[in-house]
Chains A and B, each alone.
Chain A
Amino acid sequence: MRPLARLVPLLALVTLAPGLAWSRDEELLRRPRHADPVPIPGGFVPFSGAPLIHVFAPGPSPPFMGEDIEPSVIGDFDGFTAMAYLAGTATDAGGNTYDMQCDIRVYRGAYVAADGTRHHGTFGFI
């Protein structure tokens, strides 16, 4: 594993920041679980012993699974979906460089939660 960037003690201030300031994101994360969406039933097991990952990989095959493949990870869903695979590079504070790859998706629409109730929400697959 690449050595991590040097720890800068002053950045502890930033680590503490979430506890000092109001965060709407964290409020969303604390939303009652009964309103959570459910995953799509399908998915894949990436290696022996790993859990079933409820996600598919749309896109031209190979290397992806095909263009007519489900892009949503949310089941019982009706709404807007955008997804993309992105590649680039990243640099840390120590000047170390990395190859970066992302599978970013965003969803907005109606969904049925595990308890059968219907909701509307916006979700990020990040």
Chain B
Amino acid sequence: MDLFEPGTGFSVQVHDYNPGIAPSGLFWTVPIPDDALSFRGRTARLELEDFPVVDSRVFLGTTEEPARVTLDVTFTGEGKVHEFRSGSSDPADPTAFAGRFRFGRARGRFSGGNASGLRFRSSVATSDGLFAEIGHERNGVFLGSHGTHPMASALEREEEPSAVATAPGLGLARALPNPAIAASSFEFTLGAPAPVSIAVFDPAGRRVATILDGRELPAGAHAYRWDLRDASGRRVAPGIYLVEWKTPGESRLRRLAVLP
């Protein structure tokens, strides 16, 4: 993601948060956990938390420093399916691929920071007036095949594609603010009613606070505040803590930094 001087029409770039360039020449593309990507119908959701990247300050600049980003982006396919057939036998040609895509829209939130201490948080960013697409494709050695990914057929159906939908359960889970000085809000979503437990553990694995203990909650978005106090009411020591959200069959762990 790129940050620019306001009002410059995206011409004065001041921060460029990207992964590195792989020795293979692959740009800004990194392996991510499988559970960072989930599907529901024609919607795909990408969630990454505290992911290591590089802030190169300017596009392809030489000033680099370690950085981390958190993002939550939802891509939604809308309208008809567009079928693309390879337009060239030259593999370097931009039309040398085949696929079935729906155009659509996307929205997301971003936050991050670099080693110099810069921390930023975005508004809800959207693809309105720009472009988004979601689908299945194949290129290179796969061009002669018919495609294998289940999303290929799911995108072409009008109904909810159960084959690729995630089970209703624990969705986004995050602690805000992070780092915390006075309190942090543990936000999460539920795809269906479920009993939820939230607990905080110190780096040694000792439970220091129980926020929820199997409380039955309805589907939707929820948030519970932690005042950084342990079970005895004392403010916890500064350090890194682990927050665990649990529902039957699912759990999420997030790091939370508590400052003095």
**A residues apposed to B, CB below 8 Å:** 1-2, 4-8, 10-11, 13-15, 17-18, 20-21, 23-26, 28-29, 31, 33, 36-43, 46, 50-56, 58-60, 64-93, 97-102, 104-110, 112, 114, 121-126
Contacts and interface: CB of A to CB of B under 8 A. Distances in A.
Interface stretch (B145-153, B166-174, B185-193, B206-214): B145-153
A50 B21 CA distance: 13
B27 A54 contact: yes
Contacts, number: 328
A105 B133 CA distance: 10
B54 to A, nearest CB: 11
Nearest to A25: B51
Contact of A86 (B32, B127, B137): B127
B222 interface: no
Interface of B: 1-8, 10, 14-15, 17-19, 21-34, 36-37, 44, 46, 48, 50-53, 57-60, 66, 68-69, 71, 73, 75, 82, 84, 87, 91-97, 99, 101, 103, 105-108, 110, 113, 115-127, 129-142, 145, 147-149, 151, 179, 203, 238-240, 242, 255, 257, 259-260
B142 A106 contact: no
Interface centre among A5, A36, A77, A86 (most CB of B within 10 A): A86
Given A55-B27, A65-B94, A101-B1, 9 more contacts: A11-B119, A13-B259, A25-B48, A70-B96, A70-B97, A81-B133, A83-B75, A93-B118, A124-B36
Contacts of A105: 29
B94 A69 contact: yes
Nearest to A52: B25
A4 B67 CA distance: 14
9 contacts: A13-B239, A21-B203, A25-B50, A39-B24, A39-B27, A41-B91, A82-B106, A93-B118, A106-B44
Contacts of B145: 78
